[in-house]
Structure 1
Amino acid sequence: MSGAKGWTLDPVPEEARPWRVVSSRAVVRNRFLNLDAEAVATRRGAVLDPYWVMDYPDWVLAITLTADDQLVLVRQWREAAKAWSLEPPGGVMDAEDGDPCVTAARELREETGFAATRLRLVGSLWSDPAHNTNRIHVVLAEDAAEAGVPEHEAGEEMQTVLLPVAEVLEGIPRGLVTHAAHLGPLLLALRAAGRIAF
């Protein structure tokens, strides 16, 4: 994805990179995360060792609107923060999905019991370009309605929450949404839906 000023989210060819990987060793390998300790040489000649790189699968967020202009969110326990977090539904993109909209539809249904009639990709963002290899795909899901009961996984502790878009926007400056990786996608999708402008 390239911007008007030449900014890009696409990987840069190795010969054009200002940093060079001198060596890399695998530290952790499992289905959720590959953690590598790299030794990298900067353009100025500094060697950073270890430089931690986390290889995650891509993530998808389903920014979901109902016909009466409510956002479908989840109130989810986040163990590292030891706190409840109000977030859009989402999850890991499976390799066989191929399309972030497929993942978004699945995660929306599993986490909230809702289904949307229209889903479209509105952006793809790096989750943490300093250390993570994956992107967050932002899917706008519209005309959502209840379609069944949620099917939570063993590690998911959450409840479905519906809030008017205006209430969410008013609550953001007061800390209603505190997950940094979710706030940008939420605003991006609401802009694509015509609910806000910037």
Structure 2
Amino acid sequence: MTVRPWRWRGDRTVHRDRWVHLRAEAWETAGGTLLDPWYRLDWPGLVHVVALTPEDRLVLVRQFRPGAGAAILELPGGMMEPEETDPVAAGRREFEEETGYAAGSFRLAATLRNDPAHAGNLIHAVLAEGAIPGGAQALDHGEEIAVEELPIATVLAGLAEGVIGNANHVGILLLALRAAGRLSF
């Protein structure tokens, strides 16, 4: 079976601010079914950093996430600033701000789509190697972030139990660890 593209029939803005643009779109499937509204949420590109210390530990952050109603363990990272075009530089900035760590090298490990059914933004996986404490955190207004270091094996063993609370971060972690030569698949 060949999957045929849908036809875009229009959109209207539901909400727009500096963080998100929510649109109600109208799409017609190849079979003629009109889907209106089809909600699309766009926000800036995201960068998440898989940072490895010289001792093969992961530098992670724990912060409260309202959607989860809990403080969860995640990869450092966040939204790219409007003027940023280089995800590696944005990843370095986010990593240093959130953790206070520095790293010997940063490189792009993968670029993925966040939620292709309902979002247009990309997520960039940045691999940082040689991460060491380098100074104080420079947190944004409203951020409260605890930094934790965990052995790679501990994190990998706990993935199925939710040690990393964000599903996107799990995929990014696995791809970056493969790029670092720590996993094979």
Q: Please tell me the residue identity of whatever aligns with 1:161.
A: E
Name the structure 2 match of 1:13.
none
Q: Please tell me the residue identity of whatever aligns with 1:144.
A: A
- Report how far residue 21 of structure 1 moved: 1.3
Distance 2:79 2:144 in 1: 16
Q: Please tell me the residue identity of whatever aligns with 2:26.
A: A
Please list, as runs of the form range in 1=range in 2, the aligned pairs for 1:1-198 lying within 5 A after superposition.
18-198=5-185
In the alignment of these two chains, the number of paired residues is 183
Deviations 1:82-118 (Å, cap 9, x if unpaired)?
0111111001112322211111111111100011111
Distance 1:174 1:128 in 2: 23
TM norm structure 1: 0.89
Deviations 1:24-82 (Å, cap 9, x if unpaired)?
10111111100110111110000001000111111000110011111000011101110
3-state DSSP of counterpart to 1:138 = strand
- Report how far residue 17 of structure 1 moved: 6.7
Deviations 1:157-184 (Å, cap 9, x if unpaired)?
2200001111111121222112111110
Distance 1:44 1:187 in 2: 38
Percent sequence identity is 49
TM norm structure 2: 0.95
Q: Please tell me the residue identity of whatever aligns with 1:108.
A: F
Deviations 1:105-144 (Å, cap 9, x if unpaired)?
1111110001111111011011000001001000000011
Stretches of structure 1 lacking an aligned partner (at least 5 in a row) = 1-15
